[in-house]
């Protein structure tokens, strides 16, 4: 095919939501707000300047309120993010500090706000957990809104989009995404954000392709440019040649066929050809995601990350507030299990009323169970809420970041106290729940035999297990290429944990990202994992490939895998032995 178009450009980012779309770009450009001048304010005019700031905050608050009211029904679940923004607008770290800076330094409100936000953002940037780091974007969205009101800049009105387009933005705030008329949007492209960003979560909920974290997309893409967004590979192609266009249309059709095929079978159980049933569960962060787990054929919730309710707010959630959310999930899923993981916070200030101390290495800091054991009141409140929710269905309790048996004993002591206090108060609850631990720290792998005597199940968290075993910061792009679940050391660790669990008669689950890639299934089946948990969208494909594997073969296969010394050899083995399994073959072609 002859082709004269030489303007084609390929950008690489993070595939945050799968699928391929081809269409015209619609730029949501917010340039201009960032250009802020500094000037000094006379002492006598300081009060007026503070008032100007307060009135910009008030307008911002009114805007958020109006958006909450008009939010499209399908996105109503995300209103809580906007509620968070409403609270953040008056947060003392942002609101109070800006006023203080105006008064103390006698400078204009814009400059004071910019300074305060930049300090706050650099505190958040040190957080390694990608999910929490993403929450820093809430501060950006809120301060952008105040800034626009201060400088009188126009906001882009997404609700006025007339044709079907692909949204291209620096970053989409939850407020903006809530305004979207869904039927007009084909996909998302942003400079910022990753899988755990609001845009990522929303794109997956809506099942629209999204490529995020492209850094300079808004500088490279112009309004009405023809673009191809491939959420499977994380690429965006600008002004494609005719040949690329034809290939992409073919890929898109293939992908849709593939999706249709796997989704058709999503409600079948994940049973190997020789009759072994593996449970395939969903990971959720928000109670509303339960629907997606059910729709994609999940056998329950294998990991309910509970951090979200603690973030971006000046106080801690009350027991009743937690209980209501947990009960919703538990009741909807009953009698299927819901594995509620206790607070896995990063030694991080986002949950506490004060943002005072910054850890230099939060991944190795006061995180998860360490934080909870040092803050028994916060922990007990959550445990009481979980025990209460357990009266309404099938709840399992999961403890993150366990690195010693002592932490298990201490957790159980506090759990007993929580149960006793509920008992005394005559509140309905269920004490009889399974208690398990995340295996995600190397010391837990080594001590697995002792730990198994004190818990009902293990759940392997490969995201952190890889980070801590291979010494690879899971949020650092520079070493992302080394972050490999098929590293022989990881496979051996998992095998050891599964063998211990089997000897001790407890179940072993996996809820890290390793569980959602079909390529890993022969290995995980061979190792003897009892249950996998993953983002809901991955469930159908995983179930589908499990149905085409024979457990007996996988058990023999793993013996050979364990003899290998590099991940490249292991990947090759999987491809040579299982590469032609459909629809997995198609899956490989599409990735
Ligand atoms: C993990 O570490 O693999 C895990 C599932 O937990 P998180 O990603 O929440 O740290
Ligand atoms: Mg983890």
Ligand nearest to the CA of 461: 1
Q: Which of 198, 279, 296, 487 is catalytic?
A: 198
User: 138 and 81 in contact (C-beta within 8 Å)?
Assistant: yes
Q: For the beta carbon of residue 33, count every other beta carbon within 10 angstroms.
A: 17
* Residue 350 half-sphere exposure toward CB, CA atoms < 13 A: 32
Q: Whose CA is nearest to atom 1 of ligand 1?
A: 461
Give the three-class secondary structure for 53. Answer: helix
Q: Which residues contact 112 (CB under 8 A, 6 or more apart)?
A: 53, 98, 99, 101, 102, 105
- What's the pTM value of the predicted model, to 2 decimals? 0.69
530 lines ligand 1 (CB under 6 A): no
DSSP codes joined into one string, 207-256? T--EEE--SSHHHH--TT-EEEEETTTTEEEES--HHHHHHHHHHHHHHH
Please report, in tens digits, the pLDDT of each residue of the chain (591 residues total): 434 456 899 999 988 888 999 999 998 865 445 557 778 888 888 999 999 999 999 988 888 888 787 776 666 656 777 777 777 787 888 899 999 999 999 998 988 998 888 888 777 766 666 666 666 777 888 888 888 888 766 555 666 666 789 999 888 776 676 667 777 889 999 988 776 567 777 787 778 899 998 988 988 898 889 999 999 889 999 999 999 999 999 999 988 888 887 788 889 999 999 999 999 999 988 787 898 899 899 999 999 999 878 865 668 899 999 999 999 999 999 999 999 999 998 643 345 443 345 677 888 988 899 999 999 999 999 999 999 999 999 999 999 999 999 999 999 999 999 999 999 999 999 999 999 999 999 999 999 999 999 999 999 999 999 999 999 887 666 787 888 899 999 999 999 999 999 999 999 999 998 998 888 999 999 999 999 999 888 899 899 899 999 999 999 999 999 999 999 999 999 989 998 775 555 555 566
Q: Whose CA is nearest to atom 3 of ligand 1?
A: 461
User: 485 and 563 in contact (C-beta within 8 Å)?
Assistant: no
Q: Whose CA is nearest to atom 4 of ligand 1?
A: 461
554 alpha carbon – ligand 1 mean position (Å): 26
Cβ burial of 216 (10 Å; 0-12, 13-18, 19+) is exposed
User: How far is residue 329's CA from residue 333's CA, in Å, rounded to a whole number?
Assistant: 6
User: 308 and 345 in contact (C-beta within 8 Å)?
Assistant: no
Ligand nearest to the CA of 303: 1
Which ligand 1 atom lies nearest to the CA of residue 344? 9
Which ligand 1 atom lies nearest to the CA of residue 462? 3
DSSP codes joined into one string, 116-155? HHHHHHHHHHT---HHHHHHHHHHHHHHHHHHHHHHTPPP
Q: Long-range contact list for 180-187, CB < 8 A, 24+ apart?
A: 180/72, 180/75, 181/72, 182/72, 182/74, 182/75, 182/206, 185/161, 186/21, 186/23, 186/229, 187/19, 187/21, 187/23, 187/211, 187/229, 187/231
Q: For the beta carbon of residue 357, count every other beta carbon within 10 angstroms.
A: 11
17 lines ligand 1 (CB under 6 A): no
Q: CA torsion sign, 521 to 527 to 530 to 535?
A: negative
Give the three-class secondary structure for 301. Answer: strand
452 alpha carbon – ligand 2 mean position (Å): 19
431 alpha carbon – ligand 1 mean position (Å): 26
Active site residue 511: yes
Closest CA to 408 of 457, 442, 362: 457
Phi, psi of 348, rounded to the nearest 5 degrees = -110, 150
Among the residues of 426-520, which ranges form H helices?
442-446, 448-452, 462-470, 488-504
Which residue is listed with tokens 């191809």?
228
Ligand nearest to the CA of 307: 1
Which ligand 1 atom lies nearest to the CA of residue 512? 3
Cα-based torsion angle of the residue sequence 90, 96, 98, 100 in order, rounded to the nearest 10 degrees: 160
pLDDT reported for residue 403: 98
Closest CA to 15 of 213, 253, 248: 213
Active site residue 198: yes
348 lines ligand 1 (CB under 6 A): no
Instruction: Return the structure tokens found at 477.
Output: 């792009």
512 lines ligand 1 (CB under 6 A): yes
User: How far is residue 198's CA from residue 91's CA, in Å, rounded to a whole number?
Assistant: 21
370 alpha carbon – ligand 2 mean position (Å): 13
Q: Whose CA is nearest to atom 6 of ligand 1?
A: 461
Ligand nearest to the CA of 132: 1
pLDDT reported for residue 162: 66
411 alpha carbon – ligand 2 mean position (Å): 18
Which ligand 1 atom lies nearest to the CA of residue 400? 6
| Domains present along the chain, CATH in parentheses | 2-27+166-246 (3.50.30.10), 43-151 (1.10.274.10), 269-566 (3.20.20.60)
307 lines ligand 1 (CB under 6 A): no
Specify the DSSP element, H or E, that contains 89: helix 79-89
531 lines ligand 1 (CB under 6 A): no
User: 558 and 495 in contact (C-beta within 8 Å)?
Assistant: yes
302 lines ligand 1 (CB under 6 A): no
């Amino acid at each position: 095919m002859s082709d004269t178009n030489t303007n084609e450009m390929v950008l690489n980012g993070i595939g945050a939501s799968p699928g391929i779309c081809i269409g015209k770009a619609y730029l949501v450009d917010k340039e201009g707000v960032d250009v802020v001048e500094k000037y000094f304010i006379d002492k006598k005019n300081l009060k007026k300047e503070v008032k100007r700031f307060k009135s910009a905050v008030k307008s911002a608050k009114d805007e958020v309120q109006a958006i909450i009211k008009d939010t499209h029904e399908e996105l109503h679940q995300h209103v809580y993010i906007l509620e968070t923004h409403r609270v953040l607008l008056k947060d003392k770290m942002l609101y109070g500090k800006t006023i203080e800076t105006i008064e103390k330094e006698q400078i204009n409100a814009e400059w004071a706000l910019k300074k305060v936000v930049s300090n706050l953002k650099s505190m958040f940037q040190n957080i390694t957990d990608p999910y929490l780091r993403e929450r820093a974007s809430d501060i950006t969205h809120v301060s952008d809104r105040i800034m626009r009101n201060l400088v009188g800049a126009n906001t882009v009105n997404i609700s006025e989009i007339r044709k079907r387009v692909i949204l291209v933005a620096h970053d989409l705030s939850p407020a903006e995404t809530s305004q979207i008329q869904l039927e007009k949007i084909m996909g998302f492209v942003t400079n910022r954000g990753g899988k755990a960003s609001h845009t990522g979560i929303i794109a997956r909920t809506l099942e629209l392709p999204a490529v995020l974290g492209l850094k300079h997309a808004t500088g490279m893409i112009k309004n009405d440019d023809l673009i191809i967004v491939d959420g499977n590979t994380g690429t965006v192609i600008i002004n494609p040649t005719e040949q690329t266009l034809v290939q992409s249309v073919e890929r898109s059709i293939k992908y849709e066929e593939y999706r249709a095929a796997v989704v058709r079978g999503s409600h079948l159980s994940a049973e190997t050809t020789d009759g072994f049933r593996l449970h395939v569960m969903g990971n959720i962060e928000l109670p509303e995601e339960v629907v997606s787990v059910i729709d994609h054929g999940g056998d329950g919730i294998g990991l309910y990350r509970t951090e979200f309710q603690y973030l971006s707010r000046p106080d801690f959630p009350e027991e009743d507030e937690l209980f209501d959310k947990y009960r919703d999930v538990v009741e909807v899923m009953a009698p299927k299990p819901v594995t509620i993981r206790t607070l896995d916070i990063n030694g991080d200030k986002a949950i506490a009323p004060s943002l005072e101390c910054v850890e230099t290495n939060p991944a190795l800091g006061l995180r998860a169970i360490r934080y909870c054991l040092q803050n028994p009141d916060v922990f007990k409140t959550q445990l009481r809420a979980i025990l209460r929710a357990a009266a309404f269905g099938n709840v399992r309790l999961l403890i993150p970041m366990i690195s010693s048996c002592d932490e298990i004993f201490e957790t159980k002591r506090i759990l007993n106290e929580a149960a006793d206090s509920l008992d005394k108060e005559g509140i309905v609850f269920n004490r009889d729940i399974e208690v398990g631990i995340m295996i995600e720290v190397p010391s837990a792998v080594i001590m697995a035999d002792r730990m198994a005597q004190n818990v009902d199940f293990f759940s392997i968290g490969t995201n952190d297990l890889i980070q801590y075993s291979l010494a690879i910061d899971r949020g650092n792009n520079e070493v992302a290429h080394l972050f490999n679940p098929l590293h022989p050391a990881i496979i051996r660790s998992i095998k050891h944990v599964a063998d211990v669990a089997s000897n001790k008669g407890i179940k072993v689950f996996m809820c890290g990202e390793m569980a959602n890639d079909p390529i890993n299934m022969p290995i995980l089946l061979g190792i003897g994992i009892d249950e996998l948990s993953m983002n809901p969208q991955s469930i159908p494909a995983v179930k589908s490939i499990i149905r085409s594997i024979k457990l007996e073969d996988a058990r023999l296969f793993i013996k050979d895998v364990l003899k290998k010394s590099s991940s490249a050899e292991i990947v090759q083995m999987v491809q040579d032995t299982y590469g032609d399994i459909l629809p997995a073959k198609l899956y490989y072609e599409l990735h």
